[in-house]
Structure 1
Amino acid sequence: MVEVLVDLAVGLQRRADVHHVKKPPPRKLHRGHFAFMRALAQGLDERASWDRYLRLEGEHTDLRTVRRTIAWIRDAFAAAARREQKPGTARLILLDPDRFTAAPALPSLAEFAAAQGLEDFSEAEQIEAYEAAYPAGGGGGQDGNKSAGSARPSRRARVIDHQLQALRWLEGLVVQDPRPSDSVMAWLHPSLAARLARAGLPTLVAVVERINGIGARWWAQVPGVGERKAARILDWLHANEQILGLRIGVHVATPRAQLTATALASVVPAATALVPYEKFVLPAELDGSEGRYRAPQAKCLVLAVNDHEAIGAWLAAQRPGEGNRELSSTQRSYRKEAERLLLWSILKRKKALSSLSVEDASAYCGFLADPPSTWCGPRHHQRWSPMWRPLEGPLTPTALRQALIILRSLFAFLVSQGYVVANPFAAVTLPQNPQRPLGSGRTLSFAQWDYIDALLQDHGDTEAGRRLRRGMRWVYATGLRLAEITTIKCEDLEQVEYKAANGATTTGWLLSVTGKGGRRRQVPVPVELVEELGDELARHGFERQVGAVSNQGIHVMARFDMELERPVGWSASGLYQALKAFLAQAAASAEGVDAQQLRKASTHWLRPTHGSHALQGREGQSPAPIQVAHNNLGQASLGTTSMHLTTEKATRLTAMRGFWKSDQD
């Protein structure tokens, strides 16, 4: 198969000028190639030498790869020698020393004398007899040793010596050191390099950035590269770290879940660069201490002396309670917008935040609508990662409107506290708030949810599969926000007694949740979901009773797939990605339901789906009162909750026939 691909590649190269096919860079010879070939020439163990110098090429147990690589190296060496007009050297390098039999081992002079009974003879007489028995020609034409300590090298030994000299000469002539911008095709095995390139890693620096940006399991996102191949790449990069000037972070050697917050924080150092707010260093000349629109320091109500600290004061004022270190989704949204503006102001506009004018605010709107690609990246890259970026891409009108509202709030706070004298974003016109067409709510029908629930039931019985099932069912059953469902813990569940509709006393579960604005509410949870959580706890050595004291601190969305004493919580981004991927798979195999609707669905659809299904009620079941659905969703306005009160078109038309009866008959 490899040979076929090589032939195809050669054919493409010949037609490159006609079809504009970019010629891939040739593989380069590095010092490991020469070290390995010297080891082979000297008869050292082939496997040990391979593992020491060329493990990146593959495992030594893959004999086809080993033989093919050795043949390529010899051909590359010979081609380099021919380019230097050294055809003899080219032939010498291709010569196999094993073709020449090594000279037989000869006895020492003392051994010869003892064997011949010449111990009592003088040394000169012993040497004379030795030379008669082992002439200089090596006995019958073979090269051999002349005498004790004065042997002439065998032909094989001379070939090896000449090869080693040729390799040293050639190494000094053609060996190259890798550079960060070099293509992976130039240094790695062709099949391995092709897999990296297809995964968006065409250069060595791109590979290192991906490794540092993701950590220990960076290879999981590169199809065809498993843990063993990834380890070989890491070994080679470590060996060439000084030459490349690219450092692999120490965090890469440890699974992400086992890294402390301090270890993660040290991955990206503080700098005046495209880094998160908490790591951004203001340059002294643009720190805002002398900002153009700064109010007199004597009238300032906050202790901030620069713009970074002023943003910090605003963010601190948004916290619902003293000592609450975890940011809510709203607070993270506020930080994100202030962070983007601060980075743009310093790195792009070259102005202090407190020096921004109305014209600057308008220019910033244009930037958000068309940011440079270097400022954009996937949202799942976390803040500790070198791959983090402040934007995902151009903001939609809705997102731009929200960003401007938040920035107005930021400057309104700074004005009210006497830090600046005016609000530059107050004069910027907000984009119109686009209204969704009627009937376009992002909800799933009862049939679509039943289809998804059936797929969940048949999902693999692995920890990850059961966690996915738990996550999707809890979101649908409770209507919690993504940020809420990933923060709740076992101690937030309370078992209560209540009277059912038939008057019988029964037990149920309530979940205490802290929502937006620090508002606390209790949401009913189905008994079967709590029992399922208890089963998972027991499966991993914890108390089956969810409310047990020993279970305190364990997240309802805990990850039990890591070898830790206490499981960590599933991140909001991890839950989102897993549910989104599952819904895409469900759409691919959908039969009898709207696959296109499923394909567009995400975690955010389950929350309005909960509201819609609760308010409609299933066939034969009473709908939930709007006040109950309103409490579950934790929305500030009852009017917002009522928007989920939707019905199918046919149902609405049928219901109105009575009103239109005189017109219909």
Structure 2
Amino acid sequence: MTRRKTPPRKLHSGHFAFMRALAQGLDERASWDRYLGLEGEHADLRQVRRTSAWIRDQFAAAARREHRPGTARLILLDPDRFASAPAIPSLAEFAEARGMEDFSEAEQLEAYEEAYPSAGTGGQGAPAATSRRGRVIERQLEALRWLQGLVAQDPKPGDGVAAWLNPSLSARLERAGIPTLVALVERINAIGARWWVDVPGVGELKALRILDWLHANEEVLGLQVGVHAETPRAQLSQVDLAAVVPAATAIRPYEKFILPAELNGNAGRYRAPREKCRLMAADDREAVGAWLASKKAGVEDGTLSSTQRAYRKEAERLLLWAILERKKALSSLSEEDTTAFRSFLSAPPATWCGPRHRQRWSPLWRPLEGPLGTVALRQSLIILRSLFGYWVSQGYVVGNPFAAVALPPGPQRPLGSSRTLTFAQWDHIDALLQGHCDSQVDRRLRRSMHWLYATGLRLAEITAARCEDLERVDYRTGDGAMATGWLLLVTGKGGRNRQVPVPGELVEELGDELARHGFERQVGAMSNRGTHVLARFDSGVKQPASWSASALYQALKAFMAEASKGLPESDTEQLMKFSTHWLRHSHASHALQGRGVQRPVPLQVVQNNLGHVSIGTTSMYLITERDERTKAMQAFWKTKI
């Protein structure tokens, strides 16, 4: 295997400044921190000595290339090898020491020159003496000035990081997919202040040194690190983030995509007569907005619901593809176009794809992660069929180009059968949760997993749940005795409300957490109104915010990755694919199966917990019923065939 040749490092003005400081006897550590801090800690003396030797060698090599071997030798000299000349007293000091204060100046000079024959005198009668060490330093400084003008370079955006940064540091950046300086600045701007987290071996201190170097060379590079990339994410407003990437007719999120006037759909080929349209929309963007609004508003502050975000994602992909790839307005798409779009989703170009966790403000955001699987492709086409169906019903277009597009086959296996925890896996996870460190963050993680598993709520539903949504109720047990339970009011898809039973133990645990942070222990107390079930009590504000859906998702993914260690290989591989939705699947499957003395939960109860409109959807979780049918028929076949 041929190893890639590493480009040689380049000399910059900092190298020369550092060597000038050393030549003049300035403090080595202070000079290192000032000019070469990017190379590493000054306390690492081996690194300091190694870098200093490399700089001297590079200087000498440059001098030899210019056919100046004397300068090359001079650069390598250590001035400390040469002793300074003995100190010579001034004329006044000499006269005082000899008791000649009352003599004339001419007599003093005569005696002085007799005592110090090698000393000359300056214009003011002061002696001037130059040591060999001083002459070496002076000549070295002169040589450094000449060399700097000859070989010092300014960094360029396309230069490799290995040309300018410490070799070990540049190697880590290259392994993380950051080969050049422009790629480095783009990565920092795209991720923000904690960009270094995804670069193994680069911590906060090294990241700050890199930023300092980039700032020092900002003008010559022509690359600028954005203010947002040096500010913690929590301190940035939506306005700050929105300014990172300008709106354009390019791969941009829906809200930043500029429709060209000729393709905005105002004169779409399949637009219905204006007098028959019941939408106020002037173009396709506004018509998409009307469709999204018809899916119900999200929260009171106007943010989109999870359903609206899912629908926007599919409309966004189609809009970008239609304009950028097909050069058509949405209202001009034909059946042939929609068939081509289906093929596009099955094999999108790499430039359209990126990791899911890149946020919409980031330059690294992309509309797709990669080719859509069968289930995701089917869902996408169904949603887009719904979009055009809405437009047809409102008289915006005359037909639905997605109506005749063949849908991929629906799932044949029970819902979530490949994304459900076994009882043994859940027991393992629950044991780890019980032994989790007792910090506020760890308790919140434990609480979130227990709530999701016990209730079957969606991610958006659990992060939106507040204390006032919990209601204490009295009910009769199977033997007729009275008992107390809890119900959680949940607003699910389509704005439909339902009440989901919650274990009393989880409510008590929430009360303990509230009391721990100075809130009323009674969950239903008026003072607890507005406090989320998964509140971030570490946020340092009077009314703590809820744990965001994205942060909860990432935290549970990280925990499950750790939980998978030490398990059999098949379990490890499965748990590495875990997402929060698995807990919803597991709730439904485990409840419908029953376990030991626990009887299966009635199908209608699980349907309510999950918020399914159709009981047929919930029945797809009946894995046990399927297995029992198969087992019974196997026994029958053995006796009859």
**1: distance between equivalents of 2:276 and 2:587?**
50
Q: Match of 1:69, as an amino acid?
A: T
Name 1:470's counterpart in structure 2: 447
Q: Note the aligned Cα RMSD (angstroms).
A: 3.0
Name 1:95's counterpart in structure 2: 77
Correspondence 1:136 to 2:113 = no
Shift of 1:341: 1.6
- CA separation of 1:449 and 1:262: change in aligned 2, threshold 3 A: same
Contact 1:106 1:145 in 2 (8 A): no
Contact 1:145 1:153 in 2 (8 A): no
Q: SS state of the match for residue 507, structure 1?
A: strand
- CA separation of 1:63 and 1:146: change in aligned 2, threshold 3 A: farther
Contact 1:146 1:152 in 2 (8 A): no
Shift of 1:654: 7.5
Name 2:39's counterpart in structure 1: 57
Correspondence 1:31 to 2:8 = no
Name 1:546's counterpart in structure 2: 523
Shift of 1:322: 9.4
**1: distance between equivalents of 2:302 and 2:555?**
27
Shift of 1:358: 3.1
Shift of 1:317: 2.2
- CA separation of 1:506 and 1:114: change in aligned 2, threshold 3 A: farther
Correspondence 1:72 to 2:49 = no
Task: Please give the residue correspondences for 1:21-420 in structure 2 after superposition, counting only pairs within 5 Å.
Answer: 21-136=3-118, 148-149=125-126, 151-297=128-274, 299-320=276-297, 325-420=302-397
Shift of 1:517: 0.6
Residues 430-470 of structure 1: per-residue CA shift (max 9 Å, x gap) = 33334237994532232222122112212233333323222
Unaligned residue ranges in structure 1 (runs of 5+) = 1-18, 139-143
Unaligned residue ranges in structure 2 (runs of 5+) = none
Name 2:611's counterpart in structure 1: 634
Q: SS state of the match for residue 569, structure 1?
A: coil
Correspondence 1:453 to 2:430 = yes
Shift of 1:105: 4.3
Q: Match of 2:17, as an amino acid?
A: A
Shift of 1:231: 1.3
Name 1:442's counterpart in structure 2: 419
Residues 97-141 of structure 1: per-residue CA shift (max 9 Å, x gap) = 111223344444444444444444444444444333333358xxx
For residue 564 of structure 2, the aligned residue among 587, 600, 609 is 587
Contact 2:185 2:225 in 1 (8 A): yes
Residues 569-618 of structure 1: per-residue CA shift (max 9 Å, x gap) = 33323323332333333333126995554444432222121112212222
Contact 2:298 2:305 in 1 (8 A): no
Shift of 1:79: 1.7
Q: Match of 1:436, as an amino acid?
A: R
Shift of 1:368: 1.5
Contact 1:320 1:517 in 2 (8 A): no
Aligned positions, number: 640
Contact 1:134 1:146 in 2 (8 A): no
Shift of 1:428: 2.9
Identity across the alignment (%): 70
Q: Match of 2:435, as an amino acid?
A: D
- CA separation of 1:112 and 1:632: change in aligned 2, threshold 3 A: same
Q: SS state of the match for residue 635, structure 1?
A: coil
Residues 290-329 of structure 1: per-residue CA shift (max 9 Å, x gap) = 4444445555433333332232222222224795613222
Shift of 1:518: 0.5
Contact 2:416 2:621 in 1 (8 A): no
- CA separation of 1:534 and 1:191: change in aligned 2, threshold 3 A: farther
Moved more, 39-48 or 106-115: 106-115
- CA separation of 1:548 and 1:402: change in aligned 2, threshold 3 A: same
- CA separation of 1:415 and 1:460: change in aligned 2, threshold 3 A: same
Moved more, 514-523 or 24-33: 24-33
**2: distance between equivalents of 1:345 and 1:649?**
44
Contact 2:421 2:582 in 1 (8 A): yes
Q: SS state of the match for residue 145, structure 2?
A: helix
Correspondence 1:20 to 2:6 = no
Q: SS state of the match for residue 128, structure 2?
A: coil
**2: distance between equivalents of 1:332 and 1:594?**
32
Q: SS state of the match for residue 501, structure 2?
A: strand
Correspondence 1:613 to 2:580 = no
Q: SS state of the match for residue 247, structure 2?
A: coil
Contact 1:512 1:523 in 2 (8 A): yes
Contact 2:119 2:129 in 1 (8 A): no
- CA separation of 1:124 and 1:584: change in aligned 2, threshold 3 A: same
- CA separation of 1:292 and 1:650: change in aligned 2, threshold 3 A: closer
- CA separation of 1:378 and 1:401: change in aligned 2, threshold 3 A: same
Shift of 1:562: 4.5
Superposition TM-score, scaled by structure 2 size: 0.91
Residues 164-214 of structure 1: per-residue CA shift (max 9 Å, x gap) = 222122122222222222222111111111222222222222222222222
Contact 1:442 1:601 in 2 (8 A): yes
- CA separation of 1:421 and 1:87: change in aligned 2, threshold 3 A: farther
Q: Match of 1:506, as an amino acid?
A: A
- CA separation of 1:555 and 1:254: change in aligned 2, threshold 3 A: farther
**2: distance between equivalents of 1:579 and 1:636?**
28
- CA separation of 1:288 and 1:512: change in aligned 2, threshold 3 A: same
Moved more, 312-321 or 387-396: 312-321
Q: Match of 2:188, as an amino acid?
A: I
Q: SS state of the match for residue 564, structure 2?
A: helix
Contact 1:145 1:152 in 2 (8 A): no
**2: distance between equivalents of 1:546 and 1:526?**
14
Name 1:508's counterpart in structure 2: 485
Contact 1:559 1:568 in 2 (8 A): yes
Contact 2:423 2:590 in 1 (8 A): yes
Moved more, 326-335 or 197-206: 197-206
Contact 2:488 2:500 in 1 (8 A): yes
Contact 2:447 2:506 in 1 (8 A): yes
Moved more, 250-259 or 506-515: 250-259
**2: distance between equivalents of 1:322 and 1:490?**
16
Q: SS state of the match for residue 403, structure 2?
A: helix
Contact 2:119 2:128 in 1 (8 A): no
**1: distance between equivalents of 2:2 and 2:637?**
72
Name 1:532's counterpart in structure 2: 509
**2: distance between equivalents of 1:655 and 1:397?**
32
Task: Please give the residue correspondences for 1:588-603 in structure 2 after superposition, counting only pairs within 5 Å.
Answer: 588-590=565-567, 594-603=571-580
Q: Match of 2:248, as an amino acid?
A: A
Q: Match of 1:316, as an amino acid?
A: A
Residues 452-500 of structure 1: per-residue CA shift (max 9 Å, x gap) = 2112212233333323222211111000112212222222222333333
